[in-house]
Amino acid sequence: MWNGLFFQRTTLRDLGLRIQLGHAYGCSCPTKLAANVNFRVIHSTGIHHITIDQCPTFEVLHHFHLFNLQGKVTGYSFYHALEYQTDNTGLDPLPDRLETFMLIIREWCHIKMLKPFNPGGVHAMAPGSLAIPCRACPLPNINLPRGWDNVPPARAWLYMLIVAMDANFRLRSRLRGSINKEPRLGLGWGYFVNNGPYSEFIKDFLDEDEIRTCVGFQALLNMLTKKSKGLRATGMAAVSCAHHQLFCPLGMGDLQKGERYCNMDYLFASSITGCGLRMVTISYDVGCQWFTKFWTHIQHLPQALGITLPSLNIRALVPKFHLQSHVEACHSAFLFNFFKGVARMDGEGVERNWDELNGQGPSTSEMLPGAHWDTLDDCCGWVNWRKTMGLGNLLLKRLLLAITQANETKADFVRFDTSLREENPEDVTAMESDLAAWTEDHSSRPDPYRLPKSNITLHQVRLLMAEEEKERAEAGTGIMHDVSAGAFLLLGMEIQTLQQVLRLEVKGKQKQTLLQKTTIVERRTALFKRIQRFRKIQQVYMPGFDPKNSAHLERLVSSNPTCTVHVEDCKLYMPSDLSDSQRHKYCPGGLAAMEDRLRHAEASDSLETLRHQLRTRSFTNHFKVANVTGQIRNTRARETQHRIDDKVRTAELQYRRARDALLKLRGNGAWEETLKVLEKSDVRALNERELTAQEKEEIRRVQERNGIVAEADDINAERVVAQVAAVGEGQRRPSWIWFTGNAHEGMDDPLTWAALHVEWAKAKARADRWEEEVVLVDEEMRRVLQFCNWKESWWMSQVSRHQGLPHQLTEGLSAYAAEQAAMERRIHTQWTTMWAVAHGRAEPILRAALGGTDAPGPAPAGSDIIELQIEEEYDGDGGNSDFEE
């Protein structure tokens, strides 16, 4: 307002404006109340002092609701941002309406949840009825075909519910008043269980221990739950569908003291109560321990959550990523890869869901219990709806990938199976019988997926060669010396290993102390003495060969300090270092063949050592991140990691040296399929991936800023732990070192055949799981479309339920129902067209898998072009394992 000198700040209220909310310009509300002259409006344009004709408006509520769900903006931050938008100087303080705003927001979110699910009023609400169900999971009487419960046992898995369960210790709840001070609005209508019966059940198990595991998870759990003072809940647990990652109705609850059996039993039983199915599979990171006591614990559950047998068949598995840290005995029995009906699921879906909720942790931890539960219920609804609308692209993406992989893995298995049957059909029949028996009973049958221990170690070869040397000496056909030919070759291999270790240590110490220099000189002297001894024996077993006449000149550093060739770089000239003509000339008595056998065993041993050290490094890194804090403990942990890295590097170089020697002795051949070339990128654990080009460049820049000169190979050797939920991780394959078997001397060895049996079983499992993925995803498409039809009919049926209500209300309810029904029709039409071509391409696989019967699915379309508009945030990789056998 112009005051004669400048525009002075004022309000529209002082200028006489009266605001009419919620109606068109020039129209007044017929139900308006008397004007309020002291009204504060919290709006997206700021906080205003106005005169209004009272009538509801919801713009700022809708605005904040989306910001909170998508951007995780807290109510505190949003409200104060509006204050700063109104007056960023603080010269005109505004009254504090934050508490009122938060109460209004809570009521708004609750009403929005009620709107699409509450045609009968709040008094008719059933438990879990506000939750958005997964329309791709089996729902009897909604999206399953008639007669689904009478299908043959071989196809019963198609109507199996698969859920995943996990605990989260970031979503804590502090002691902030009693539950009665601010009661919950939903009362178990959504995703959280009703706290009344839940707490009544939990209080009977106050002294129950936390779940103990077969691995080191307990250390992590203790770290997360030990600081529980002042907390009402140390975390929460949730159940979600494993394939599509939607939170299950009534599958969430608080944890009062860590991850206890009573909490997890109750939440799991609550999530599947009333599912109406006959088969349920649960994915749980400690399922191997939890499930052993499950049948005893369910007897103590409330009657309303009772699980009856044999009407419900339940089986527990362990998610693929978590299973790596379990003992070997758990692997095959609890691995998704070897369980019929789970297709290509990895069981880690509930872990990915925490990312959607953890952003709410800082604000919800300070709320009273009722607001805490209501807010997270609302967030779960948002997550489920976004994932529901992403099913169109997600299922299409999975089906297209599965079709290709199913054809390839099936062809690989058929070739493998055919070759084995041609050689020994009875043995393959026995393998099939053993696999079927183990599938029925894991405890009394040998594991068909466990690779036998290496049957050709270096120690065994040394024993065999010593016995052969003894026989030659007794027969008078061998060279007489106090050191056998095998021991001579082993001495050379030992010297090469010592040279390699010394080279690594010298390379890593550019600036040496006096003590370090003295140690290196002493070690070089000791190594030189070994080489001198090797040379003397070499004259016996390699007569006529003189290493001094070779191109390589041997010098001792201690006698000639200016020498550039150190003792660790001296070449030994073993048979593998010579040409073919030189071997025939200087290596009599089958010396080259002896080295061939030793090198083969050395390569096998070093490869097994490499795998062992990589596993050790992986577990050590996980433990350090989870449990090690403080400078002293971190320094010690880094020293341990460096020692493990040195062992990895030693095994890597030893394998390459042994393989190079084999290549020179044997030439190219079938043995290279087992002992492949080991690249830098191959040396990584199961849960590690290579660095991207951007990450490598960033490391190089950081090292340059710190004055560190690093070689490109050192940067390329860096590895990072792969994140399960990262985009594209579903296509990452583990290194070949985790797929190859051990080296074997001959096909007559029984352990060699045992290894072939394992590879046959794994190849069959891969083919079966990918075929199941095609069948299951196609069935899920059918379920989604049938759910749309059912939901459309349900919405239209609600119109008749509005009789007897005021005309204006009936008109609004009918319009809303018609709008929702139209949306379901649109989803059905769009996704039917989107999926039609992919379904047509899957038909041959479906016919073969289902015994020649045509599976129901979307109608065919005339176009062969498939357009994908995939939202990476919601498409997920839940069906594609990042860590495969």
Residue 718: predicted pLDDT:
55
Q: Computed from CA positions of residues 359, 365, 369, 371, in that sequence, does the dihedral angle turn out positive or negative?
A: negative
Residues 370 and 374: their CA atoms lie apart, in Å, by 6
Question: Residue 570 has which token pair?
Answer: 């001296």
**Tens-place pLDDT, residues 122-172:** 777 788 888 999 999 999 999 999 999 899 888 899 999 999 999 988 888
**Tens-place pLDDT, residues 465-492:** 566 556 656 655 454 556 778 788 888 8
Q: Which residues contact 758 (CB under 8 A, 6 or more apart)?
A: 448, 449, 450, 451, 452, 741
Determine which of 446-455, 669-678, 867-876 has the lowest per-residue pLDDT on average: 867-876
Question: Residue 424 has which token pair?
Answer: 């020994």
Residue 505: predicted pLDDT:
77
Residues 329 and 271: their CA atoms lie apart, in Å, by 29
CB 277 within 8 A of CB 310: no
Residue 562: predicted pLDDT:
47
Residue 135: predicted pLDDT:
95
pLDDT band at 401 (very low <50, low <70, confident <90, very high): very high
Residues 741 and 98: their CA atoms lie apart, in Å, by 65
Residue 310: predicted pLDDT:
60
Q: Which residues contact 576 (CB under 8 A, 6 or more apart)?
A: 592, 595, 599, 660, 661, 662, 664, 665
CB 164 within 8 A of CB 225: no
Residue 739: predicted pLDDT:
57
Look at the block and give the residue holding tokens 């039809």.
Answer: 789
Residue 719: predicted pLDDT:
55
User: In the predicted model, is pLDDT for residue 6 greater than 90?
Assistant: no
CB 738 within 8 A of CB 686: yes
Residue 142: predicted pLDDT:
94
Does an H or E element contain 250, and which?
Answer: strand 247-255
Q: What angle do CA 333, 338, 343 make, to 5 degrees?
A: 135
Determine which of 50-64, 457-471, 727-741, 853-867 has the lowest per-residue pLDDT on average: 853-867
**In terms of Cα–Cα distance, which of 385, 341, 353, 360 is closest to 724?**
353
CB 315 within 8 A of CB 283: no
Determine which of 328-332, 467-471, 736-740, 827-831 has the lowest per-residue pLDDT on average: 467-471
Residues 878 and 640: their CA atoms lie apart, in Å, by 35
Q: Which residue intervals of 508-590 are DSSP H helices?
A: 514-541, 580-586
**In terms of Cα–Cα distance, which of 220, 242, 475 is closest to 345?**
242
Does an H or E element contain 249, and which?
Answer: strand 247-255
Residue 112: exposure state from Cβ atoms within 10 A (0-12, 13-18, ≥19):
middle
**Tens-place pLDDT, residues 370-392:** 888 888 999 999 999 999 999 99
Average pLDDT (249-272) is 89
Question: Residue 131 has which token pair?
Answer: 């939750």
pLDDT band at 556 (very low <50, low <70, confident <90, very high): very low
User: In the predicted model, is pLDDT for residue 874 greater than 90?
Assistant: no
Average pLDDT (615-625) is 64
Residue 353: predicted pLDDT:
87
Q: What average pLDDT is seen over the chain? A: 78
Does an H or E element contain 199, and which?
Answer: helix 195-202
Residue 731: predicted pLDDT:
40
Tell me the domain boundaries of the chain: 18-114, 151-389, 402-448+760-875, 479-588
User: In the predicted model, is pLDDT for residue 116 greater than 90?
Assistant: no
Average pLDDT (289-308) is 82
Residues 842 and 781: their CA atoms lie apart, in Å, by 12
Residues 340 and 830: their CA atoms lie apart, in Å, by 32
User: In the predicted model, is pLDDT for residue 836 greater than 50?
Assistant: yes
pLDDT band at 451 (very low <50, low <70, confident <90, very high): low
Residues 287 and 63: their CA atoms lie apart, in Å, by 42
User: In the predicted model, is pLDDT for residue 875 greater than 50?
Assistant: no
Q: Which residue intervals of 390-513 are DSSP H helices?
A: 391-423, 425-440, 458-475, 485-507
Residues 223 and 362: their CA atoms lie apart, in Å, by 19
Residues 471 and 468: their CA atoms lie apart, in Å, by 5
pLDDT band at 635 (very low <50, low <70, confident <90, very high): confident
Question: Residue 349 has which token pair?
Answer: 């879906």
The torsion angles phi and psi of 348, rounded to 5 degrees, stand at -100, 10
**In terms of Cα–Cα distance, which of 393, 357, 355, 388 is closest to 241?**
388
